[in-house]
Homo-oligomer: A and B are copies of this chain.
Amino acid sequence: MNSPHNLQLFPGSAAAHWLTQLRTASPLVHCLTNQVVQNFTANVLLALGASPAMVVARQEAGDFSAIASGLLVNVGTLNETQVEAMLLAVASANGAGVPWVLDPVAVGGLGYRTDFAHRLLTMQPAAIRGNASEIMALAGFSSAGRGVDSTDDSLDALPAAVELANRCGAIVAVTGAIDYVTDGQTCYALPFGDPLMTRVVGTGCALSAVVAAFLSLDKGKRLELVACACMVMAFCGGAAAKESAGPGSFVPRFLDLLYQLQPEHLMGKTL
């Protein structure tokens, strides 16, 4: 499966390897994220075997990101207090060599967060994870986004993702029915998700935290690690959706599957 962007399926064997590493390392993920998804994000990280911490004050955010394994910056409910803490945390993470992830929630139509996201783009994120509308807006492509919804297809945003990756040196993941992950050269396609995941708040935001967890495992393998994060989440999400009567029963089942997931499941064994 080839394309102008050298599109490849991500190998389950690689995901299996890194899942084992994640469980051993139990990375500490500093989450500066939006108010709506903090609980779910923490529970996703804990279920998977990582360790979440939400240290939000400007007095502590910088100190903490330097000792964390990875940092998440999500602008979903951005406010002035958070802007200050995020800038301190990012600077400190960069100083300490801690990878950080940008989740540009609803960037595009809203000026305050869009300006801030563009400022963050200059601060060397290791990865950016958004839906099609967000990635297109961040890359300066026109989009049809409305608030936190993506009204664009993830494949339509692939050129924007490639452009953004090349411009700022980050791995870019554009997620949707199929997830695409690119370093500007190679693109992985991950066709494991389920539309039911869009009816549960925070599945994308939690994925961004999981990206930060995986990125902490090896600085030389960023493309592979971001793809691995997307695969693990979409794989468990797709499996949970098939067993769920709706978005309510999806959540506990999804968390149970993240907890139960073993490397062999990513290589073909039924979860």
Contacts and interface: CB of A to CB of B under 8 A. Distances in A.
Interface of A: 28, 34-40, 42-43, 46-47, 51-57, 59-60, 63-64, 67-68, 76-81, 106, 109-113, 146-149, 198-202, 244-249, 251-260
Query: Which of A39, A52, A63, A80 counts the most chain B CB atoms within 10 A?
Result: A39
Contacts of A28: 146-147, 149
Given A43-B201, A53-B106, A54-B77, A256 B252 contact: no
Q: Which 5 A-B pairs have the closest CB atoms?
A: A248-B255, A246-B256, A248-B252, A246-B259, A59-B112
Contacts of A39: 36-37, 39-40, 201-202
6 contacts: A51-B149, A52-B148, A53-B148, A246-B260, A248-B259, A252-B252
Contacts of A55: 77, 106, 110, 147
Nearest to A149: B51
Nearest to A63: B110
Contacts of A148: 51-53
A67 B109 CA distance: 10
A271 B42 CA distance: 29
B251 A112 contact: no
A59 B111 contact: yes
